[in-house]
Amino acid sequence: MNKNNQLTNSDLLRYLKSLDFKSGFIDRLKVYYRPLVCPFVELINYVKEGEKVGDIGCGSGQFCLLLAEFAKPSLVYGIEINERLVNNARQLFNKHAKVPYEFEQFDGINFPDKIAELDVIFLNDVLHHVPKPNQEKFISDLCSKMKSGARLIVKDINGGSLLVYCNKMHDFVFAGEIGHELPYQTTQNWLQKNQLTIKEFNKKRMYVYPHYTIIAEKK
């Protein structure tokens, strides 16, 4: 872990709120304030300067932009199902990015070959939005695209916690759907079945959100 003891959540919020970003109210709310409920500081610190970084389900690109600003990768690559959010990410990076970047629309099933070029791949609060019958295959297909030595960082909501119902309400309000959160042990097992070694595991509660983070490396 590339520890940066100087970086704080206040730094992230200050930077995001300084951005010139034109979009709908909900999209702007998520871009400006998501660090309040998601452990972005810890996630950013898992990236080493100069690495090629990807974000699966990148949304409007705010986490990618935080990586570009504070982790200093050599490339940022994001994929997202929603075309509006892809355009939001491009808007943010066109105005503010200081590193090479690329964003693509993703069909939710077929991972692009570009994944094989990346050193670090983030899967932040995406797995619980994948339909339950497809979740294990989603992980398997992603892992199969990764190169040997690449790291997959899965940050999601712990389905084994009673507080998971707070996240379900959150998703219903902001995404119009109910998620399929998994116990973290299930995610760990799937990663190990797909030739990834668990290097680190953390749990962190922020307000009522029971997060878990798994750092796994492909053999």
Percentage of the residues of the chain whose pLDDT score is greater than 70: 98
What's the pLDDT tens digit per position in 44-101? 999 999 999 999 999 999 999 999 999 999 999 999 999 999 999 999 999 999 999 9
**How do 101-105 and 75-80 pair as beta strands?**
parallel
Residue 3 CB neighbour total at 10 angstroms: 9
The residue length of the chain stands at 219
Q: What order do you get walking across the sheet with 120-124 strand by strand? A: 101-105, 75-80, 52-56, 120-124, 151-157, 209-218, 196-206
Confidence check: pLDDT of 178 > 80: yes
Q: What is residue 5's predicted lDDT score, i.e. its pLDDT?
A: 60
Averaged pLDDT score across all residues of the chain: 95
Confidence check: pLDDT of 139 > 80: yes
Stretch (H or E) spanning 25: helix 25-33
The confidence band for 136, taking pLDDT boundaries of 50, 70 and 90, is very high
- Using CA atoms, how far apart are residues 76 and 100, in angstroms rounded to an integer? 6
Name residue 164's amino acid. Answer: V
Which residue bears the tokens 């119009």? Answer: 176
What's the pLDDT tens digit per position in 23-43? 999 999 999 999 999 999 999
Ordered domains of the chain (ranges, CATH): 9-218 (3.40.50.150)
What's the pLDDT tens digit per position in 206-215? 999 999 999 9
Region 143-155: mean pLDDT is: 98
The confidence band for 1, taking pLDDT boundaries of 50, 70 and 90, is very low
153 - beta bridge partners? 122, 215
Stretch (H or E) spanning 154: strand 151-157
What sections of 119-206 are H helices per DSSP?
A: 135-145, 164-175, 184-193
Strand, helix or coil at 204?
strand
Q: Please state whether the predicted TM-score (pTM) of the whole model is above 0.85.
A: yes
